[in-house]
Amino acid sequence: MDVPGDGELIELEEAGARVLVLGGQRRQPTADTVLRGLIAEASGVPADDVELIHACGVCGARHGRVSVPYPLTASGASWYADVAVSGDTVVAAAATRHPLGVGMEVATLDAGAVIDEAAFHVSELAALGELDASRGALVRATLWARKTALLRAVGHTDFIEPSRLALSIPGEDGGTGRIVRSVPEFGSVWRQVRFHDVPVPGNRAASVAVIG
């Protein structure tokens, strides 16, 4: 299977990242297969030679973005890469210059007030409250995909309550989101974060967070 050829390849030129969206395949490849295919196509090494590690380099837990021991970039640095799966859709991203993370969420009409209050800042909740049910579900999913992508890009850190973090509202920011209210744990890095929303099939939302 030609993984890059079977999916939609998206170039995030300003971020120096490549994103591969693969969905609706009769024989869906695994997340690692898709990510290996993306890195192989960009680096010129065989996909079977691409090494992926899902364990955190600090604590060993399975969280944060994927590590790529091999291959290295042309400058001798490590690739930044991540992948997300939802149903029959896989979104993989890779970059040579900036840390990134991928998030993907299903758009549900009603996630529940308790979940929303834990996930979203009061300013985000106010914006969601002004939307109709269908539009609100997609915006809610996009916001959560963005926050998931950010935490994966950051990797090992102290627990951060998502509701303390406010992002620009999807649909009002042109598809490239920013952090509008940060938390002390992020220091000044929050000014460098951009969220690139990626079109995916089905009732889903996906985003790639890039730091830098």
Tokens read off for 187: 């220091």
Q: How far apart are CA 170 and CA 164, in angstroms?
A: 18
Q: What is the DSSP string of 142-184?
A: HHHHHHHHHHHHH-S-S---GGG-EEPPTTTSTTEE-EEE--G
pLDDT digits (tens, 9 = 90+) for 91-104: 999 999 999 999 99
Instruction: State which H helix or E strand residue 34 sits in.
Output: helix 31-43
Share of the chain residues as helix, strand and coil, in percent rounded to the nearest 5: 30, 30, 40
| Cβ count near 67 (within 10 Å) | 18
Q: Yes or no: say if 192 and 178 are a contact pair by the CB < 8 Å rule.
A: no
Q: Is 85 helix (H, G, I), strand (E, B) or coil?
A: strand
- CA 8 from centre of chain: 16
Average pLDDT over residues 117-144: 95
Q: How far apart are CA 198 and CA 77, in angstroms?
A: 26
pTM for the model stands at: 0.93
Q: How far apart are CA 45 and CA 87, in angstroms?
A: 29
pLDDT digits (tens, 9 = 90+) for 150-201: 999 988 676 788 999 999 999 999 879 999 999 988 889 899 999 999 999 9
Domains of the chain are: 3-103 (3.90.470), 105-196 (no CATH)
- Share the mean pLDDT of the chain: 92
Tokens read off for 93: 């991203």
Average pLDDT over residues 79-96: 96
| Cβ count near 8 (within 10 Å) | 15
Average pLDDT over residues 119-146: 96
The confidence band for 113, taking pLDDT boundaries of 50, 70 and 90, is: confident
pLDDT digits (tens, 9 = 90+) for 33-55: 999 999 999 999 999 999 999 98
